[in-house]
Chain A
Amino acid sequence: MNKGPRHRPKFLSKKGKKLRIMVAGSSYTSYQACINSLCSKQILEAETEIDPLKAHIDRILEIREFNADILEDEFHVDLTVIEVNGFGDKIDNSASFEVVTHYLESQFDQALIEESKIKRNSKFTDTRVDALLYFIAPRGHCLSEFDLEAMKRFSKRVNVIPVIGNSNAFTEEELKNFKDVIMKDLKQCNIKVFDFPWDPEEDEDEVIEDNKRLWESVPFAVSGGVSEEDEEGYQRIVKKFQWGTFVIDDPAHSDFLNLKTVLFISHLDILKSITKQTYYENYRTEKLSNDSPSNTSLSLQKQNSIVANEDKRSVNGSERTETRSSIDQSEMRTNVSDSTKSEELKKINSIKVDNTSSLKCDSYGNTKTKTNQLNCEQIGLEVISPKEFPHRTTSSRNSLPNNTTKELEMKKMDDLSHERYENLPFYR
């Protein structure tokens, strides 16, 4: 990343990238403290006061949203934390899965309705969940049936990142054993969590090594703490015991820094793109193939009222994009924007064919401009999607062949896009 002064074009927004994270776990994992440490703010609070008159009533599983603006030297993220309060804390947790799954699917439904409209709302806020931090209780033996069932269901709709909460309950050896047991259980039950995909040809060696190192440390062992100043004046997050001080920022003690890097710096864009191109597309295919026309119209009418209500509440959702590429790439992007303004919608197909090489540059940087947001998204869906699917389905990560012939590229792209659904584990 560029740590020096950055060239920021005028048309880019000043707001940070949007990231929506869902947090699920029982209160034993102390996920509230962990999220507070992650955001450096007090945004989630544990329930300490219970009304005695309502104590006998079974607590309802409720989903809350909290906003936090994470601003540091190298990155700026507009974070939304979606808390599933009371998950796994009931006596009968059978109905907890449906609540979370229904929430995830309703966000996809809203995006689907907006996509199907003739006149699209320019102020539409994308509410799809980019990642789900599943907090595993620090048991030490194995995953419970509840945890396995939950991750199996959620991993079909969202990027699941398993996290061991309250990891200061383990010694080094116990933690290593527990991580191995968790990964073995996940593999045995065919649960696909976020596996840090990489492209061996296009990515650099450093990126590949980082992804491998991060994959080996999954699930991340984290814990919450209190921030204080060090002797040297640096801020750090600690948890003080009588036998020593547990420093959460220290990589030898916990994986807090790894989790922070994955969410906010290195894998932010990959999480968002996988959410759009894998989970959303799968859900869209299931939805459109299963629904009959009458049901579709009824569901559309119902969802329209929801969207109409949300339009009033929605805030301007324009995103600020950060430039990683050089000045030359930004000039090429401005040329693309100028050319698209002059042409009509009917000539979009010719744009695809003519500017294929420039779109590849867009796919590398994952940068989008405000004016070309819709067009770039459309084009990006078709261009980027063939690359991402082979990473997740096959062990050998294949890249697109670099053929100069345009016709061959289009045919092979069609072949890959045609095969992408057949290779997915959901259809096997």
Chain B
Amino acid sequence: MDSSNLSSSMPQEGQLKLTEEAIITIKQVDESSAKRSVSNESRKSKDVTRKEQIASDQQGDDQCPQSDTAKDKKTEFKQDEVPNSNGKSIPTFHPCNNIGINDFNHQHYSRVCRNGIDINLIVVGESSLGKTTFVNSFLQSNDTNFRPKKTMDFVEHKATLSDGDQKFNLTIVDTPGFGDKSDNSNCWRPIATNLLHRLNAYFQNEVKMDRETSEIDSRIHGCLFFINPNGHRLQPLEIYIMKKIDQFVNIIPVIGKADTMTSDELNHFKKRVIADMVREKIRYFREPHNEKKAKIPIPFAIVGAGAPIEHDGKCIRGRAYPWGLVDIDDPKQSDFCQLRNFLLYTHIEGLKHKTHKLIYDTFRTEKLVALNATPGSQFISAEEMNQKYISEQTQLVEEALTKVMKEKYREKENNLELLETNLKTHHKDYKHALKKRITALEEEKNRLIKEIGPEKVKKAGILA
């Protein structure tokens, strides 16, 4: 409805502009026939707007009414030229198609019909609350297995649903239930790991140098949390797990096996569940109350369907009890249809927007802050970049200076080496001369001792 309103309002503005231009041209041509031509133009413009409205409702081609107006203009000009042979005729041009913002809705709708809407959901809850049965009912798979088996691992179901032109690429992750063991403190970890893994995959792709634009967005847009239909209040285990995962995904509370409760019990239980979630400050998916839209029956009361049942010639999806027959497609007995409308039509854009802007952005912020704190991170701030540049330049200067110093050092070392060799040879000659002097003095001493005599030498106290 909104799209049709938008598309219908824009052509009116165009038509108003056209009529103004027509008035200007007519005044320039001939003032005497202005009144008649203005009245005729107003009538024709009304007819054209009606045709365009019909065409936009049917989403057909918009060229026909434009061509009609063009023909009218041409014939009109010819009529004007005949009585006035002296005056000049000024040609005017009119766009044949919608341009600019006027055609945006149509283009968007075409692209959506061609590519399809991606919806990623995960089903979480206690054991044996009908999660797998719900997935089969939602995807309309003809499962003739009368005895549903226990889901033991994360199973990803993919399907493409079509509704006229629209196409939905649906991915539902089925999870094994929790609450079987005595100690259920860690049963939330596989679910949180799966959700974080998908957020991280999108983040890694976003951060890469070469992004893969064709990579499929696998982030979970909504989590169908199946609540135990005990009729009193939320279980402590359910509250515990909701608090653990509500920061990673949009929680949509769903009451599984709601056919175990009567209508009064169910209404009372729904109020209790919402009150419990509000009191425990669990962030489940909700939008500001819009009076125009129908009220959302959160939490949705779901009845799982087994094999199709033939009743009064019809094929009904439901459950056959000894005391009556439950039809899951009946809005009075089950909220299955309302949940399907909620997920596929009315609130899918809100779920995606909240997943991207709130959940993913929070995750991204925390991730970047964590990466910034670790050493060797690949993300550098401007200040760090400047410091890095300065350090590089300093290093270059240091290298140049080192080179110069090395050359000087080498030169001086060579000089010192030469000096050392000279000193060695000089020392050698000096030593040789001293030896000769020693031998000469020894001979002199011996000669003097012989001349004086050994006894006088002893008396004089001169040691020999």
Residues of chain A touching chain B, judged by Cβ–Cβ distance below 8 Å, are: 26-28, 30, 46-48, 50, 52, 55, 58-59, 89-94, 96, 137-142, 144-146, 149, 166, 168-169, 171-173, 177, 239-247, 252-253
Beta-carbon contact of B236 and A243 below 8 Å: no
Contact indicator per residue, chain B 165-193, by CB within 8 Å of chain A (1) or not (0):
00000000000000111111100000000
CA distance A56 to B146 in the complex (A): 42
Which listed residue (A89, A92, A139, A242) contacts B333, Cβ 8 A? A242
Beta-carbon contact of A93 and B183 below 8 Å: yes
Beta-carbon contact of A93 and B182 below 8 Å: yes
Question: Top 3 nearest A-B pairs by Cβ distance?
Answer: A244-B324, A139-B128, A243-B324
Contact indicator per residue, chain B 315-349, by CB within 8 Å of chain A (1) or not (0):
00001111111110000110000000000000000
What chain A residues lie within 8 Å of B45 (beta carbons)? none
Beta-carbon contact of B260 and A169 below 8 Å: yes
B458 CB-CB contact with A under 8 Å: no
16 more A-B contacts (CB under 8 A) besides A89-B237, A146-B182, A241-B263? A46-B232, A89-B235, A91-B237, A137-B128, A141-B148, A141-B150, A142-B150, A145-B180, A145-B181, A168-B259, A169-B259, A171-B306, A242-B333, A243-B324, A243-B326, A244-B324
**Distance in Å from the Cβ of A122 to the closest Cβ of chain B?**
43
Beta-carbon contact of B185 and A91 below 8 Å: yes
Instruction: Given the known inter-chain contacts A50-B233, A94-B182, please indicate yes or no for A171 contacting B320, CB distance below 8 A.
Output: yes
What chain A residues lie within 8 Å of B326 (beta carbons)? 243
CA distance A64 to B237 in the complex (A): 23
Instruction: Given the known inter-chain contacts A28-B230, A46-B232, A241-B262, please indicate yes or no for A91 contacting B184, CB distance below 8 A.
Output: yes
Beta-carbon contact of A244 and B240 below 8 Å: no
**Distance in Å from the Cβ of A165 to the closest Cβ of chain B?**
10
CA distance A242 to B233 in the complex (A): 23
B66 CB-CB contact with A under 8 Å: no
B147 CB-CB contact with A under 8 Å: yes
Which listed residue (B180, B184, B232, B332) contacts A48, Cβ 8 A? B232
Q: Jot down 18 A-B pairs with beta carbons below 8 A, ordered by A.
A: A46-B232, A89-B237, A92-B183, A93-B182, A141-B128, A142-B150, A144-B127, A144-B180, A149-B182, A171-B321, A177-B147, A239-B262, A241-B323, A241-B324, A242-B263, A242-B332, A243-B325, A245-B324
CA distance A26 to B228 in the complex (A): 11
What chain A residues lie within 8 Å of B236 (beta carbons)? 58-59, 89-91
Beta-carbon contact of B149 and A141 below 8 Å: yes
Secondary structure of the B side of the interface?
loop
Of all chain B residues, the one with the shortest Cβ separation from A32 is B232
B308 CB-CB contact with A under 8 Å: no
B292 CB-CB contact with A under 8 Å: no
Of all chain B residues, the one with the shortest Cβ separation from A245 is B323
CA distance A242 to B127 in the complex (A): 26
Contact indicator per residue, chain B 230-266, by CB within 8 Å of chain A (1) or not (0):
1111011100100000000000000001011011000
What chain A residues lie within 8 Å of B237 (beta carbons)? 89-91
Which listed residue (A168, A173, A242) contacts B260, Cβ 8 A? A168
CA distance A388 to B434 in the complex (A): 132
Contact indicator per residue, chain B 291-304, by CB within 8 Å of chain A (1) or not (0):
00000000000000
What chain B residues lie within 8 Å of A139 (beta carbons)? 127-128
B427 CB-CB contact with A under 8 Å: no
What chain A residues lie within 8 Å of B262 (beta carbons)? 239-241
**Distance in Å from the Cβ of A402 to the closest Cβ of chain B?**
48
Of all chain B residues, the one with the shortest Cβ separation from A93 is B182
Interface size on B, residues (CB 8 A): 44
**Distance in Å from the Cβ of A148 to the closest Cβ of chain B?**
10
**Distance in Å from the Cβ of A181 to the closest Cβ of chain B?**
10
**Distance in Å from the Cβ of A94 to the closest Cβ of chain B?**
5
CA distance A90 to B184 in the complex (A): 9
CA distance A93 to B180 in the complex (A): 10
B428 CB-CB contact with A under 8 Å: no
Instruction: Given the known inter-chain contacts A89-B235, A92-B184, please indicate yes or no for A166 contacting B260, CB distance below 8 A.
Output: yes
B279 CB-CB contact with A under 8 Å: yes
What chain A residues lie within 8 Å of B333 (beta carbons)? 242-243
CA distance A247 to B321 in the complex (A): 12
Secondary structure of the A side of the interface?
loop
CA distance A59 to B235 in the complex (A): 12
Beta-carbon contact of A247 and B184 below 8 Å: no
What chain B residues lie within 8 Å of A245 (beta carbons)? 323-324
CA distance A16 to B271 in the complex (A): 43
Instruction: Given the known inter-chain contacts A30-B231, A144-B179, please indicate yes or no for A247 contacting B323, CB distance below 8 A.
Output: yes
Which listed residue (B184, B259, B279) contacts A241, Cβ 8 A? B259
Of all chain B residues, the one with the shortest Cβ separation from A142 is B150
Instruction: Given the known inter-chain contacts A144-B179, A168-B260, please indicate yes or no for A55 contacting B128, CB distance below 8 A.
Output: no
Which listed residue (A90, A169, A246) contacts B257, Cβ 8 A? A169
Beta-carbon contact of A172 and B322 below 8 Å: yes
Contact indicator per residue, chain B 118-154, by CB within 8 Å of chain A (1) or not (0):
0000000001100000000000000000111110000
CA distance A400 to B236 in the complex (A): 54
Beta-carbon contact of B185 and A30 below 8 Å: no
What chain B residues lie within 8 Å of A142 (beta carbons)? 150
**Distance in Å from the Cβ of A231 to the closest Cβ of chain B?**
16
Of all chain B residues, the one with the shortest Cβ separation from A242 is B333
Which listed residue (A47, A52, A141, A239) contacts B127, Cβ 8 A? A141
What chain B residues lie within 8 Å of A247 (beta carbons)? 323
What chain A residues lie within 8 Å of B148 (beta carbons)? 140-141
**Distance in Å from the Cβ of A23 to the closest Cβ of chain B?**
15
CA distance A28 to B231 in the complex (A): 8
Beta-carbon contact of A244 and B180 below 8 Å: no
What chain B residues lie within 8 Å of A92 (beta carbons)? 182-185
Beta-carbon contact of B182 and A47 below 8 Å: no
CA distance A352 to B230 in the complex (A): 55
What chain A residues lie within 8 Å of B146 (beta carbons)? 173
What chain A residues lie within 8 Å of B184 (beta carbons)? 91-93
What chain A residues lie within 8 Å of B272 (beta carbons)? 48
CA distance A280 to B179 in the complex (A): 34
**Distance in Å from the Cβ of A270 to the closest Cβ of chain B?**
31
Most chain-B Cβ atoms within 10 A of its Cβ — which of A30, A48, A52?
Answer: A30
Of all chain B residues, the one with the shortest Cβ separation from A140 is B128
Beta-carbon contact of B232 and A146 below 8 Å: no
Instruction: Given the known inter-chain contacts A168-B260, A171-B320, please indicate yes or no for A48 contacting B179, CB distance below 8 A.
Output: no
What chain B residues lie within 8 Å of A241 (beta carbons)? 259, 262-263, 323-324
Instruction: Given the known inter-chain contacts A28-B228, A91-B185, A169-B259, please indicate yes or no for A243 contacting B235, CB distance below 8 A.
Output: no
Beta-carbon contact of A168 and B180 below 8 Å: no
CA distance A243 to B150 in the complex (A): 28
What chain B residues lie within 8 Å of A58 (beta carbons)? 236
**Distance in Å from the Cβ of B123 to the closest Cβ of chain A?**
16
CA distance A243 to B324 in the complex (A): 5
Of all chain A residues, the one with the shortest Cβ separation from B128 is A139
**Distance in Å from the Cβ of B374 to the closest Cβ of chain A?**
34
What chain A residues lie within 8 Å of B149 (beta carbons)? 141
Of all chain B residues, the one with the shortest Cβ separation from A29 is B230
What chain B residues lie within 8 Å of A149 (beta carbons)? 182
What chain A residues lie within 8 Å of B229 (beta carbons)? 28
What chain A residues lie within 8 Å of B180 (beta carbons)? 144-146
Beta-carbon contact of A171 and B181 below 8 Å: no
**Distance in Å from the Cβ of A235 to the closest Cβ of chain B?**
18
**Distance in Å from the Cβ of B263 to the closest Cβ of chain A?**
6
Contact indicator per residue, chain B 394-416, by CB within 8 Å of chain A (1) or not (0):
00000000000000000000000
Which listed residue (B235, B240, B260) contacts A138, Cβ 8 A? B260
Contact indicator per residue, chain B 411-423, by CB within 8 Å of chain A (1) or not (0):
0000000000000
CA distance A26 to B180 in the complex (A): 12
Beta-carbon contact of A55 and B279 below 8 Å: yes
Beta-carbon contact of B183 and A168 below 8 Å: no
What chain B residues lie within 8 Å of A141 (beta carbons)? 127-128, 148-150
